[in-house]
Amino acid sequence: MTIPFASFLPMERELGPALREAFDRVFRRSWYVEGAEDEAFERAFAEYLGMRHCVGVGNGLDALMLALKALGIGEGDEVIVPSNTFIATALAVTYVGARVVFVEPDIRTFNIDPARIEGAVTERTKAIMPVHLYGQACDMDPIMEIARRRGLKVVEDCAQAHGATYKGRKVGTFGDAAGFSFYPGKNLGALGDAGAAVTNDDALAEKIRALGNYGSDYKYHHIYKGNNSRLDELQAAFLSVKLPHLDRMNADRRRIAGRYLSGIRNPGVTLPFVRDDCVPVWHIFGVRCEARDALESHLKARGVGTNKHYPIPMHLQECYRDLGYSKGDFPIAEAISATELSLPMYYGMSDEEIECVVEAINTF
């Protein structure tokens, strides 16, 4: 049996007809950017989260970057980001001209360790960007407490955690603003690139929208040197088809994760830790193994596809050489990079496929 790391097939089989219908609807209307579909999805997603505003943008990176920009963060400022995340979190900070300051994660949850944040705060620090990595919420209470006490903004990176909760409350609702990605592989994915920023602040929402639309408040009137980053009508229409299925599809990922957590028994493999105040949505099911590369080969030989999130930590990436870091500076991020292996995880994975993965790991 061959089990891919990820597959869209079960989703496509189920939602194909509705997605084609959405395409036809947009095509008949002959209106492709900034229209009724965009508005309808923004309203639906804001409502799903219980937020006042959702601004559709071109992708997740832009959502984060535009939120930072709208909050007035730029040259001379510092922003705290976890040392273990996808590079987009850091690039959003770099793009607004601010300096990235890495803070190590808790190795059990992979998420930023609140106890280490305060030590990284300086008089230049303007914001904290918690990333709800792999679909599990960060420990938001202490993060929000530090932010309040030190007068810092909080921009949540929710690209991997649509629908995940912390103490019963959805991620994306804690900070001043949050960025979501609807890249196809995310828990809520479009059929191309798309993203959104959410906030409860009316003025901030308006500014994010203007910044993503050439800095324009009305046509051909430009108040900021903005970007072009809008959610197009087709992607918005596809997302409106998929949003009503998000909770059910997340629940399916929890079914898969549950079988992994109860079935995998290998002393060399450390399973992900689930906080009891969090309901994760399992964007990624990441295990840790000292012999990670051997485990990867073992699984590959048995037809099981895997991935690594992420093989090179950001402080050792070539593009961030200017920050002057070297190996050993962020040992926890480095340990995760060296040992993490992501198991197959996608909506509609069959019980037989799951058992095959469990069996392959238990025989390693």
Ligand X SMILES: *Cc1c(COP(=O)(O)O)cnc(C)c1O
List contacts with ligand X (CB under 6 A): 59-61, 85-86, 88-89, 131, 157, 159-160, 181, 183, 193, 195
Instruction: Give the integer Cα–Cα distance in Å for 330 and 101.
Output: 11
Position of tokens 């392959």? 360
Which residue number, 190 or 295, has a Cβ lying nearer to ligand X? Answer: 190
Which residue number, 89 or 306, has a Cβ lying nearer to ligand X? Answer: 89
In the complex, the smallest distance separating the C-beta of residue 49 from ligand X, rounded to whole angstroms, is: 17
Position of tokens 């309203």? 43
Cis peptide before 134 (omega within 30 of 0): no
Which residue number, 48 or 95, has a Cβ lying nearer to ligand X? Answer: 95
Which residue number, 189 or 226, has a Cβ lying nearer to ligand X? Answer: 189
Nearest position to ligand X, beta carbon: 60
Instruction: Give the integer Cα–Cα distance in Å for 1 and 10.
Output: 17
DSSP-derived pairing of the beta strands 177-181 and 340-343: unpaired
In the complex, the smallest distance separating the C-beta of residue 182 from ligand X, rounded to whole angstroms, is: 7
Which residue number, 59 or 173, has a Cβ lying nearer to ligand X? Answer: 59
DSSP-derived pairing of the beta strands 153-157 and 177-181: parallel
In the complex, the smallest distance separating the C-beta of residue 54 from ligand X, rounded to whole angstroms, is: 15
In the complex, the smallest distance separating the C-beta of residue 291 from ligand X, rounded to whole angstroms, is: 26
In the complex, the smallest distance separating the C-beta of residue 153 from ligand X, rounded to whole angstroms, is: 17
Report helix angle 9-29 to 36-49, nearest 10. Answer: 140
